[in-house]
Amino acid sequence: MTVKVKRVNQNRIEVEMSGSKLNVDGIRSVIETFSRSIETFRHEKQIYQDGQRSYVGSDPSNLEDVTDKRVANLDGLIAEYSGIVAEMKQALASLSVPPK
C-alpha cells in the first residue's frame, strides 16, 4: 500500500493513498478503519500466542502448520498499518486538526 503525504501550503496537506486523494475527513476515516484493523490483527495474534494453530492443505492426512507464517504476516500488517496511522496523525497534527 502506497501512502504519500505532501504539504501543499501551511494550511493544507494532500494525502494520496493507492491513487486516491483524501481530504481531512478521509484521513480521519482511514485512521479509524486502520486502528480497528490493527486491534483485530492483535487479537488474532493473541489467539495464536495462546495456543491456537493454523493449518492448510487439501488432504487432512497431509496438513501444513502455517501458524508461524500467519503470526509473521500479522506482525507485518500491524507494523504497516501502525506506520500509516502514525503518518496520517502527524499530517493532521501539522495542520492543528485534532484526529477526533
Claim: this prediction has a pTM higher than 0.85: no
Q: Residues 5-31: what's their mean pLDDT?
A: 77
Q: C-alpha cell of 53?
A: 494453530
pLDDT one-digit tens code per residue, 32-60: 999 999 999 999 999 999 999 999 999 98
Total domains in the fold of the chain: 1
100 pLDDT exceeds 70?
A: no
Q: Are strands 12-17 and 20-22 parallel, antiparallel or unpaired?
A: antiparallel
User: Around Cβ 29, how many Cβ atoms within 10 Å?
Assistant: 12
Q: 88 in a domain, yes or no?
A: yes
**41 or 20: which carries more pLDDT confidence?**
41
Residue 1 is predicted with a pLDDT of: 67
Q: What does the pLDDT average to over 62-76?
A: 96
Q: What CA–CA distance (Å, rounded) separates 49 from 20?
A: 36
Phi, psi of 77 (to 5 degrees): -65, -45
pLDDT at 10 over 80: no
Residue 100, in any domain of the structure: no
Domain encompassing residue 61: 3-94
**Residue 43 one-letter amino acid:** H
Within-domain flag for 76? yes
Distance CA 29, CA 48 (A): 29
Q: What is the pLDDT of residue 26?
A: 83
Q: What pLDDT is attached to residue 91?
A: 79
Alpha-carbon distance 100 to 35, whole Å? Answer: 13
Residue 19, all three cell numbers = 491513487
